[in-house]
Chain A
Amino acid sequence: MNNFMSDFFGDWHALVVLLLAGVIPNQIWRMLGLWLGGGLDEGSDLLVWVKAVATAILAGVIAEILVHPPGALASVPGFLRYGALVVGFIVFMLTRRSIFAGVVSGEVFMLAGKWWLG
């Protein structure tokens, strides 16, 4: 029981880090939107720039997972990881932007390549 609980919660330090590095820096923008919202124009330059930076940061995260793969993904050779993204993207475009078709074909490419390599 004790063992299960400590596995489940992990250490308290990590939970404090979650609050300081994750919850607060994230929620602050929602609450600012709630308190200050109303007087802002959605098409204003500042918001267009913020949206572009946020999109580019997300793109950076996608690239980071492929360039410095975590855990089990590190067992997949680089050309299969990048290839999965490229193949998935081509299928995504060919299927008139079907997220499902893109994800499935990227996964199939990676698994087929892994199987072929043995």
Chain B
Amino acid sequence: MSAVRSTILSAVLFVTYIGIGALAHDTHFSLAWALLATLLVWAGPAQIILISTLASGASVVQSAIAVTVSAIRLFPMVVAVLPMMRTPETKRRQLVLVAHFTAVTLWVECYRFLPHVPRDRRIAFVHGLGSGLVLIGLVATVIGYELAANLTQTLGAAILLLTPLSFLFSTARNSRELADVLALGLGLAFYPLASLLDSGLDILISGVAAGTIAFAVHKWREGP
């Protein structure tokens, strides 16, 4: 738990989940729904996409597509995290919970903490770290939900504004490569254009277009 306390990222996590709790309240989801989403989805962007698409009237299939595309980034994260704790005796099922806990916060913290943890203790360490982070997320979800239910309109708006601000800055902080910076900037700029189409898949359309252009520029700069 001391590992959890000492991370700055857990403050970002806390703020993000306060925003998610408030968003769930203002879009008329139940508290149990919001808590189950935090526990079982455990990915801030996916939860916000799920809530905002469903609230804006998208079908289950449209929401599922938007969520699954946003979740693709978890695949390379899991692929990168697991070798750090695998030993020749490790069975795959021992890593299921580690895979579930893997999200951007855990991913970054593994690089920071695991070198100081003996290899045979790493799975246990990550189980502890992951549970602590999920607990922070659950508590923050309740706080955000209740705050949105009880605060004045202006303070409620301030809570909802936490999500775009904390997401933008934590993503910008993690964007070291040109492709990531471009994807972030173009993604912000393209969404208002795509939303004019009013297709129900606006986020997907702007995301794939902006991401592909960012990738193309990255390849072009790299040379043939």
A residues with a Cβ closer than 8 A to B are 7-11, 14-15, 17-38, 40, 42, 45, 47-73, 75-76, 81, 84-85, 88-89, 92, 97, 99-100, 102-103, 106-107, 110-111, 114
Contacts and interface: CB of A to CB of B under 8 A. Distances in A.
B165 A107 contact: yes
B67 A106 contact: no
Nearest to B73: A54
Contacts of A17: 54, 60, 63
A53 B211 contact: yes
B158 A26 contact: no
B137 interface: no
A53 B36 contact: no
B106 to A, nearest CB: 11
A114 B202 CA distance: 30
Contacts of A26: 41, 43, 46, 67-68, 71, 74
Nearest to B23: A70
7 contacts: A14-B33, A17-B63, A25-B68, A49-B215, A58-B167, A61-B48, A62-B188
Contacts of B69: 53-54, 57
Nearest to B40: A23
Interface string B81-121: 01100000000100110011010000000000000000000
Contacts, number: 332
A92 B184 CA distance: 15
A71 B169 contact: no
Contacts of A68: 56, 195
Contacts of A92: 169, 172
Contact of A99 (B45, B170, B184): B170
A14 B30 contact: yes
Contacts of A22: 37, 40-41, 46-47, 50, 63-64, 67
Contacts of B209: 56
Nearest to A97: B173
A53 B71 contact: no
A71 B160 contact: yes
Given A53-B212, A71-B25, A99-B166, A20 B64 contact: yes
Given A71-B156, A100-B8, A102-B168, 18 more contacts: A27-B71, A28-B71, A29-B71, A30-B100, A35-B92, A37-B79, A38-B79, A52-B211, A52-B214, A53-B208, A56-B186, A56-B208, A61-B167, A62-B188, A63-B206, A66-B164, A73-B160, A92-B169
Contacts of B163: 62, 65
6 closest residue pairs by CB, A with B: A71-B26, A59-B187, A10-B30, A33-B78, A53-B211, A56-B187
Given A20-B64, A61-B45, A75-B157, A34 B92 contact: yes
